[in-house]
């Protein structure tokens, strides 16, 4: 359960909360299962806080510091979190339609999270663990996903325009219907990935592993867009049908 005194202090205002944290830098923050829905937590220092199972529905976390925080199974539906979230644990969290634009999510744990319709536009997710995430229809425009683990992730219909996926692990990832136009997939492992109806126009596949990819027509009869793909002949395990 949450520490009632800490929760009350936080709800009274971020300025007083941050001052208290500055004078008690080593105090453990116990906010698990806290009701913080629609709370104004802008600029709040929540680093290393235990927010497991907390309700942050539509919370304002703009420029908040949530580094190293425990947000496992927390609900951030519709929340705006555009600050520091690096190394935070968001495994099994509900992030439906949450906004993470330009946020620092480097090395965050997003395993099994529900991020349907979430907005990661221009965010930094380098080195993050997104295994088994459901990010269908999510937005990753120009997002840094370098060295991320997206194995078995669901990204169908996602917008990954000009995203950086260099050296990412994309084994068995579902990219069906996704927009990967202009994406950097250099040296990424796409083995077993579903690319049916995906848009790979101008994507860079140099050094990528394409072993066992699914790229033929989907159930609606739409095919993968390979127009102007860069580095296809320098990729590994290119399907014979795609060779000139």
Asked if residues 127 and 147 have their Cβ atoms less than 8 Å apart, the reply is yes
pLDDT digits (tens, 9 = 90+) for 151-188: 999 999 999 999 999 999 999 999 999 999 999 999 99
pLDDT tens, position by position, 44-78: 999 999 999 999 999 999 999 999 999 999 999 99
- CA gap 193, 126 in Å, rounded: 20
- For the segment 208-241, what is each residue's pLDDT rounded down to a tens digit? 999 999 987 554 556 889 999 999 999 999 998 8
pLDDT the model gives residue 216? 76
* Residue 74: CB atoms within 10 Å: 30
For residue 41, pLDDT beyond 70: yes
Burial (Cβ within 10 Å: 0-12, 13-18, ≥19) of residue 178: buried
Tokens of 77: 């539906």
| pTM, full prediction | 0.94
Q: Does residue 145 carry a pLDDT above 90?
A: yes
């Amino acid at each position: 359960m949450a520490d009632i005194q800490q929760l009350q202090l936080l709800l009274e205002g971020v300025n007083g909360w941050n001052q208290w944290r500055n004078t008690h830098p080593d105090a453990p923050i116990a906010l698990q299962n806290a009701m913080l829905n629609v709370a104004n937590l802008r600029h709040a220092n929540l680093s290393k806080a235990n927010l497991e199972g907390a309700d942050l529905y539509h919370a304002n976390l703009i420029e908040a510091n949530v580094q190293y925080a425990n947000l496992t199974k927390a609900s951030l539906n519709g929340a705006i979190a555009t600050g520091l979230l690096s190394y935070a644990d968001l495994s099994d969290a509900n992030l439906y339609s949450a906004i993470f634009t330009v946020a620092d999510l480097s090395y965050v744990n997003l395993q099994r999270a529900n991020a349907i319709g979430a907005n990661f536009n221009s965010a930094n997710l380098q080195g993050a663990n997104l295994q088994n995430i459901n990010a269908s229809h999510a937005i990753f425009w120009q997002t840094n996903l370098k060295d991320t683990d997206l194995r078995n992730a669901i990204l169908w219909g996602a917008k990954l325009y000009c995203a950086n996926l260099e050296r990412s692990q994309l084994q068995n990832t579902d990219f069906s219907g996704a927009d990967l136009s202009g994406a950097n997939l250099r040296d990424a492992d796409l083995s077993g990935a579903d690319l049916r109806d995906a848009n790979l126009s101008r994507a860079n596949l140099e050094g990528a592993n394409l072993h066992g990819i699914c790229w033929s027509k989907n159930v609606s009869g739409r095919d993968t867009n390979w127009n102007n793909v860069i580095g296809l002949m320098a990729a590994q395990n290119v399907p014979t049908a795609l060779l000139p």
